A and B are shown apart, each in its own frame.
Chain A
Amino acid sequence: MADHGLNDDPSIADSEALWRRIPPTHCVLDRNLGRVRPSSAAFENHPNGSPMSVVLGKEVIAAGRDAESVLKGHEGYALASFSAGLARQCGQAVARDPLDEEPAHALVIGKKTGSVKRAVLG
């Protein structure tokens, strides 16, 4: 399940929200739903093979920040939210990976097949 030597972190509850920035180029009009939504293409591992980046919403809030702070410097981007439990149901692992510029940074680890990417969309 996990790769890159990282394992699932059980201290991240299934109910915790994982936030991912969505570039404007990854927003599509879904006429079946009657709204714009993220494309499945937005939920992919890094091009170099390392796992997909997310931010732990709970930690952002705990630090006194809000969701918009995650989008700072990324004009036109949206923020998608899905639960850690949903990621795990799709065979992914979730692990903390704090960065200097983003202490709430985390990784969603595992192969992103088409069905996994669409499942994240709910």
Chain B
Amino acid sequence: MASAGLEKVLREVASLSESEQRKLREVLNQRLAVKASAEDVLQQTTMDNGGHKPPPYKDPIALFIGGSDDPWVRPTVQGLARLVTLGPNWDSYGAPPIDVSRIQAAVDLLRAIMRPETPAPAVLATSSGGLQFEWHENGVDLEIEAGASRDFHVSFEDHHRGEVWEGDVSTDTNGVARCIAWLSDSNESRDR
């Protein structure tokens, strides 16, 4: 049986008109021939849902993230797939399933700010039905929490530079993009 979160995604996709669904399938075919692929997510969600096989458009999360084979994409998609399978009370404190609209908003943000060399984030659910990306490496701690209404709360600490920043982000993503740049630069320096 599909989790409530997955069912919600599938309902949303199913509610689209035929032309919209056709467009989504085209997006899948054209842009998601990526290595983070739809098949990985499908396999994961199928396993997590007792073998239930989603409909033919099949990869609702990948619909949101497609278009890149950067190294961070694959583990991020897998992390998102795990979130969708979480049912009610997944934390034992009454947390609801993850709100799919927040996943889409968070992925849109990632697509705007991530660099090819940026390490993949840890992908976590929050007790309010949102999600959070975290990086704790290269002397940097960065957390991005996706709240309601496409707002994000960001906390950043660079232990090498002594930089600390915390704030809310909505349309202006320059601040969080700068945090990602520092994290990515640190990663690149280490790899050289």
Contacts and interface: CB of A to CB of B under 8 A. Distances in A.
Interface in A34-59: 39-41, 44-48, 53
Q: How large is the interface on B (under 10, 10 to 19, 20 to 34, 35 or more residues)?
A: 20 to 34
Interface stretch (A10-18, A25-33, A60-68, A90-98): A25-33
B3 interface: no
A111 interface: no
Given A46-B94, A53-B93, A114 B127 contact: no
B59 interface: no
A53 B93 CA distance: 8
Of B91, B94, B124, B137, chain A has the most CB atoms within 10 Å of the CB of: B91
B44 to A, nearest CB: 14
B92 A32 contact: no
Contact of B91 (A26, A28, A115): A26
A103 to B, nearest CB: 18
7 smallest beta-carbon distances between A and B, as pairs: A31-B137, A30-B136, A44-B127, A114-B155, A23-B91, A28-B122, A41-B126
Given A23-B92, A48-B94, A53-B93, 11 more contacts: A25-B125, A28-B122, A32-B136, A39-B134, A41-B125, A44-B126, A44-B127, A46-B93, A47-B94, A114-B145, A115-B155
